Amino acid sequence: MSDDIRTSQFFEPHDQLLIQQVKEWGEIITNFETRNKYQILSPSGGELGFMAEQGKGIGATLVRMFLRTHRPMKVTVWCSERKELLSLERPFFWFFSDLTVRDSAGKILGHVYRKFGIIHKKYDLCNDKDQIFARVNTPIWRLWTFKILDSSDREIGTVSKNWGGLLKEIFTDADRFQVSFKGRSWLEKAVIFSAAISIDMDFFDDNQRNN
């Protein structure tokens, strides 16, 4: 099965996916930064796949500790059969990030660009030709929901952080996101899905320390 077919078959049937960050108890107790890991779930809670930030060893650990959310990052996405679907890469940045979305063969499927904003959180979502097909322009005081808008400002999807409950929010910064993208092509769904990782890194990855 080709990479495009495998990835398209993963995204096409779904109008909504859940992304659940997985935290290990050692990290929760010691606050020692480890690489991000996520489950991909159906709305009913069935496991569809998983993701993991790449990079092991003391060098990668130090990068995560000192560069924090600005660190260079690569995340690999697999389906439940452990076949690679996507590779998400973001280089080190100071202010405006660029997440590149590739299939397992290295073909670029799109980009997620963080843009300048003072009272809004802004992203441009681009297709494989680097053309903008959607954007995020969310007021900074709306903490939990990022609406995906097309060129006519119509809502075509959302990335929403689901609050995990008081005890969970106090003791761990594990995040859970709901990604909705009804009626979009599988390529656009893959980019919108990937935008959730950029949003998590930018606004929620350090929330335990910020608290």
Burial class (CB in 10 A: 0-12, 13-18, 19+), 35: middle
Residue 5, pLDDT score:
84
**Which neighbouring-strand residues pair with 136?**
123, 148
Q: The tokens of 65 are what? A: 């500790």
What is the residue-wise DSSP string for 126-188? E-TTS-EEEEEEEETT--SEEEEE-TTS-EEEEEEEPP--HHHHHH----EEEEE-TT--HHH
Q: What is the overall mean pLDDT for the chain?
A: 82
For a pLDDT cut of 90, what percent of the chain falls above it? Answer: 54
Percent of the chain with pLDDT over 70: 76
As given in the structure block, the two tokens for residue 37 are 């890991």
Extents of the domains making up the chain: 3-210
Mean pLDDT of 174-190: 90
Going by pLDDT thresholds of 50, 70 and 90, the confidence category of residue 131 is: very high
Residue 153 is predicted with a pLDDT of: 92
Q: How far apart are CA 167 and CA 190, in angstroms?
A: 32
Q: Is the pLDDT of residue 68 over 80?
A: no
Element (H, E) at 35: none
Q: Tell whether domain 3-210 is in CATH 3.20.90.
A: yes
Q: Inform me whether the pLDDT recorded for 158 exceeds 90.
A: yes
Interval 148-177 mean pLDDT? 74
pLDDT at 12: 94
- pTM to 2 decimals? 0.85
Confidence check: pLDDT of 178 > 90: yes
3-class DSSP state for residue 31? coil
